[in-house]
Amino acid sequence: MLNQSNILKNNMNFKEKFVERKVLAKGCILDFVMDTVLLPNKKLAKREFTLNPKAVAVLPLIDSKHIVMVKQFRYPLNRVTYEIPAGKVDKGENNLNCVKRELTEEAGFKASKIRKLLHYFPTPAFSTEDLAIYIATGLKPVDSNPDDDEFIERVILPLDKVLHWIKINKICDSKTLIALLYYSFFKNQIK
């Protein structure tokens, strides 16, 4: 049985120290690198991961019972997914401006109120991606303007239906799962 003193005694330094980096592949959006690190036990190890830009996602609420999602084909999965609008933060752009841009581009709405819900690291074992999730209310329709390589359809769905889709594994995108479950659990505490 663990007690508080056992936990404190086993508290070691987990920090790994950077030694060198090798770029394995450069992409348009992300790079794949391999770092050599010095472990706490003074041995060397390799860490392969992607260097990702920051990203945002937004949960657009028509009202307390209806949300806006985007339907799109995801090539790596070879399937159509339902997701909340999202995108990478451009160089020199802040998160809030990116949320507003993605909400307009992908969902075709402007919001009178946008609040941050949370941020998380989708795959910390092999990516630097840091994704912030926002909630948008007071929506007004505007013309959507997706990027040239985005073929998406805006869909307005009842929240209960989307939560059922989570239960039956029809929604598989992590940012969408996290946003919807967070909102469902904490909606009474969100101001």
Host H or E run for residue 180 = helix 174-186
What is the per-residue pLDDT across 20-29, written as a single tens digit (0 to 9) for each? Answer: 999 999 999 8
* Domains observed in the chain: 4-51 (no CATH), 55-189 (3.90.79.10)
What is the per-residue pLDDT across 85-133, written as a single tens digit (0 to 9) for each? Answer: 999 999 999 999 999 999 999 999 999 999 999 999 999 999 999 999 9
CA distance 111 to 68: 12
Burial grade of 86 (CB within 10 A; 0-12, 13-18, 19 or more) = buried
Q: How many other β-carbons are positioned within 10 Å of the β-carbon of residue 39?
A: 12
What is the per-residue pLDDT across 159-182, written as a single tens digit (0 to 9) for each? Answer: 999 999 999 999 999 999 999 999
Minimum mean pLDDT among 10-14, 59-63, 138-142, 147-151: which range? 10-14
- As a whole number, mean pLDDT of residues 54-72 equals 96
